[in-house]
Chain A
Amino acid sequence: MAIELKERPTPPAPRQITTKPRLSDQVFRTVVTIGGMASLVILGLIAIFLSIKGMHILVDEKFNFITESRWEVITDETGEVIEANFGIGAMLIGTMLSATIAILVGVPISVLSALYLTFYANGKLKKVLISVIDLMAAFPSLLFGFWGFFIFMSSAEYWAKLINKYLGFIPLFDVPTPIFERSPFIAGLVLAIMIIPIVTSISREIFDQTPLDRVQAAYALGATKLSMIKAVVIPYGRGGIIGGAMLGLGRAMGETVAVYTVLNVVYQVNWQVLFGAGGNVASLILLKFGEAGPYEVDALMAAGLILFLLTLIVNATADFLINRFGGKGR
């Protein structure tokens, strides 16, 4: 006898679950949403403004704008533009070179000082150091530029000569003529000092949050302070360090006045970090803005747009890196 299978009852359709928030919640939600959207809107408006002003230059110059290195405007007696050629290739290279040097030098110093502040300094010294570093963040960048130009340059020049003498066989450290002043190397070092406060603060904050139970677990296994930091603190803080470094990189790429003061603006692609030629996009804009006619201003806006996009790419990369490598130690 066959067992007649009973038909399963059809499950009911899922209910619609709704929550009616209270008025106070709705109001607060609106306020918070406006706050959250404000930065997005402002940033978007700036991007649109730069695009509108600069787009026709980009259309005219096409890829030459980022590959070529020249900045020529020829006008007739009435001020009418006859011919113009714009290309910020050298400035983009200069931006990336000096920012990279800044990161390579600034981030290790920042991480070490954050480790010192979190795990070694105590009492008054710690408080004083933290306020000094925070003060550094608020220091006008022009003063960093002046200090870099008048005081720091001579020592940095000496280091550059040393590096060139002993490592000159590496193309990066070679120079075509012995001009070591106002090089990407020196600009990078000044930028390194400028990003130390932000990278230090962020690293310090994340090191401070290292779960105490893991720290204790390491010590209870006979760890020295150094091995505890390597096994527990660094894996935990890696994402934060990368995030801080990327914020520093953003600042280094966008820095204007300090770079303008210590770096020669030369329209020539220069990979040789010790050689006194370069310039970055922001300092180019500062240099040209004062005397530029309307057409040239549009070209500067286009340069701004490119810098904007570059920064955007860097931040997206940072996000990617944090998600990829930051999560493991948490």
Chain B
Amino acid sequence: MTTSHVTPSSLSSVASARTVSQPGTALLGNGLETRGVHAWFGKKHVLSDVTLDFAAGTVTALIGPSGCGKSTFLRTLNRMHEFIPTAAMAGEVLLDGKDIYAPGIDVTKIRLRVGMVFQKPNPFPSMTIGQNVLSGLKLAQIKNSNTDDLLESCLTRAGLWNEVKDRLGEHGGALSGGQQQRLCIARSLAVEPQVLLMDEPCSALDPGSTFRIEETIADLAKTMTIVIVTHNMQQAARVSDYTAFFLSDGGPGEMIEAAPTSSIFSSPQNKRTEDYVTGRFG
């Protein structure tokens, strides 16, 4: 997409209008930290030395042009990175201060605590809407006696309850793209993650659905830590408290700058960040 019509001042005004969410009462976990994260696919070094903190109860946007390693970085945060056969990583990812890559860690437990929403809505087509929301319980073999309440609260938090409450027995594929994506958000909420990773969750959606999901993100940030990859800088400005800018100059992707979102858009410290957020490239 083109961002040339966006002036840095307009973005920063959007960003400063957003109130930084204060750690809420029911905040889950103590956030996520990375220490010197590198990533490779085969011999190709795609991400170099990212050290970044995600404070509990904040929304952090990862921005940057395609191929800068931001999605790869996101996938190192819940160990989805290692599903690509040749993938490798170095460094540490600390969840509540403990390295999630440490030997002896149960990776399925990590993914329960660090949920993920994907670029393309991917509900399970063999399951109904209700079964989709609760699928995480079944997949992770979690017992929950009060599934009706859980179902309603997850769908409500994902902003979908009113649209689907009368058709929970229908198949997930019957929903529109935006509804499917909110269904996927509801699904990831059901296992009560403390961190939610979102990989361009709105890139396949229309503006109306995008708006609904952004509202949802703002709501969710009251209780959890959110990391969102986005190509849309207005979205980064609207939803995030912090923004990290990633860039690759042909070599591995690097994190160029990370700061409160309003200052990234109003007074970027790095020339390349400024060029990107003002739409000079990318």
Contact = CB atoms under 8 A, between A and B. Distances in A.
A227 interface: yes
Contacts, number: 75
B115 A330 contact: no
Contacts of B102: none
A222 B191 contact: yes
B201 to A, nearest CB: 13
B184 interface: yes
Interface string B111-154: 11001101010111111000000011011110000000000000
A213 interface: yes
> A-side binding surface: helix, strand, loop or mixed?
helix
A211 B124 CA distance: 10
11 contacts: A216-B80, A218-B124, A219-B80, A220-B80, A220-B111, A220-B115, A221-B135, A222-B108, A222-B139, A224-B140, A329-B125
B194 interface: no
A328 B140 contact: no
Contacts of A235: 124, 126
Nearest to A221: B136
Given A222-B140, A228-B139, A231-B135, A217 B111 contact: no
Interface residues of A, number: 21
A56 interface: no
A213 B139 contact: no
A221 B118 contact: no
Nearest to A329: B126
A122 to B, nearest CB: 8
Contacts of A211: 122
Contacts of A222: 108-109, 111-112, 136, 139-140, 191
B231 interface: no
A217 B126 contact: no
Given A221-B191, A222-B112, A223-B139, 15 more contacts: A211-B122, A213-B118, A214-B124, A216-B118, A218-B124, A220-B80, A221-B111, A222-B108, A222-B109, A222-B140, A223-B111, A224-B140, A227-B139, A328-B125, A329-B126
A217 B185 CA distance: 11
A231 B118 contact: no
Nearest to A223: B139
A213 B140 contact: no
B196 to A, nearest CB: 10
A213 B184 CA distance: 12
B187 interface: yes
A236 interface: yes
A221 B139 contact: yes
A222 B190 CA distance: 11
A221 B188 contact: yes
